[in-house]
Amino acid sequence: MKKNKIIGMFVRNNIGKTLPSILTLTTFLLILNILLGILFSTTGVLSRSVTNNSYVRFMEVLNNGDFKKSSQMVSKISALPEVDECFPDVSHPIMIETENSDQFELYTALGIPKGLLSEFGLSSDTDQYIFLPRKDSDKFKKGSVVKFEETFYNKNARPGESSYELKELKYTVSGYYDDMNWDLFPENVVLMDQMTTDRIAVGGTSDGIMAADRIIVHVADVSDMKTVEENIREMYPDTDIRYDLKHTGELPGYSKLIIAVSGTILIVLLVFCIFNINGNVKQILNSRRRDIGLLSLFGVDSGDITSIFVSEYFISGLISFVLAIAVTAVLFILLKVFGGIDMLTGYMHIYIIADALLAVLIFVLISAIQVKKALKKINKAKLFKEVLK
């Protein structure tokens, strides 16, 4: 209890003297968090895969053979252990209208499996869904009913009647997706359940066989992309396979450059920060030799003296940590809200752990070394009278 009172007294009396060190460390931790945020959001160094960007996990297989074998190809490719999802690209233009036909828009209908909705930041409680571009949320309200027409083959057509007929399909708007800007898909698409698009593709043919010139493959781990490509080529030599990532298993060149530059900056700043704090702590302890000498003179053990002063600087490190995390959170929230840059989601625990360890370790280690040096000088000199002058 007495020891805690001494620590409290020292903190109250000397916190102002450590303020330069606190601000120096806080600034360093803030810069550290910013650089870490840039690294995490641009290189994906925390992910098991090369990057966190969703689009690189998609692969397109161009069928240069018999288009009507697309269903067979989908079944065989889906059976590969590395493949997460596989579906035929039977996308086609549709005109979507509101139920009272006062709003309409031309889109490309793309059917995707329900398991891939999360890749687009979406989810659905039902097996039938339709997601529109967010830019059209004013035209087509979520939960409202929209309709479009499709052509189906009528095998029961009477002589003289057309073999094809238009059928009206109705959907309830499930929600909206954010702009993708992917080369793989058109810009103005509606994402629909694959069951409906497959039914449309089959129903529009006279033989009831789906035909697709492209198959989309989703690979959960991009490091498996090359393996999947080789297996598909072995099964279907006449296919062309394209995907964005061609250097699987290693970081792209720009990522390595960012990591190298950021690492160099952090090392230089860390050295500067340590020297600055060390000088500040040393200067403060030199002015407090009287306190150290009195405690030693009154018989306080050297270990207890060290722990008293280290505890005081531990509190200074804790203050730096709290300030750095608070400023980081506010800055990153503002960047996310106003700049659309998310360096916070999924990374905050990393900033907290890194800042806490560095803030505490730097202050504790430096203060422990300097207090022991000061005690060694005082105990060696045994000149308490001079110390107390």
Beta-carbon count within 10 A of 215 CB = 24
pLDDT at 6 over 70: no
pLDDT at 231 (0 to 100): 93
How much is the pTM? 0.52
Q: Report the chain's mean pLDDT, rounded to a whole number.
A: 80
The pLDDT value recorded for residue 244 is 67
Q: What is the mean pLDDT of residues 230-258?
A: 72
Report the pLDDT value the prediction gives residue 176, as an integer from 0 to 100. Answer: 94
Q: Is pLDDT at 332 greater than 60 in this prediction?
A: yes
Question: What pLDDT sits at residue 48?
Answer: 39
DSSP classification of residue 84: E
Strand order in the sheet with 145-153: 164-172, 145-153, 92-98, 104-112, 189-193, 130-133, 175-177
Q: Is the dihedral of CA 339, 345, 346, 350 positive or negative?
A: positive
Tell me what pLDDT residue 52 has.
43
CA distance 231 to 74: 13
Q: How far is CA 223 from CA 86, 115, 184, in A?
A: 17, 20, 19
What share of the chain in percent tops pLDDT 70? 80
pLDDT in tens, 153-191: 888 777 777 888 889 999 999 999 987 766 777 778 999
16-28 tens-digit pLDDT: 667 788 888 889 8
Worst-scoring range by mean pLDDT, 5-14, 74-83, 328-337? 5-14
Q: Tell whether the model's pLDDT for residue 10 goes beyond 60.
A: no
Q: What's the mean pLDDT in 102-113?
A: 90
Mean pLDDT, rounded, for 317-339: 88
Residue 375: CB atoms within 10 Å: 21
Question: How confident is the model over 67-76, as a mean pLDDT?
Answer: 86
Q: What is the mean pLDDT of residues 102-118?
A: 90
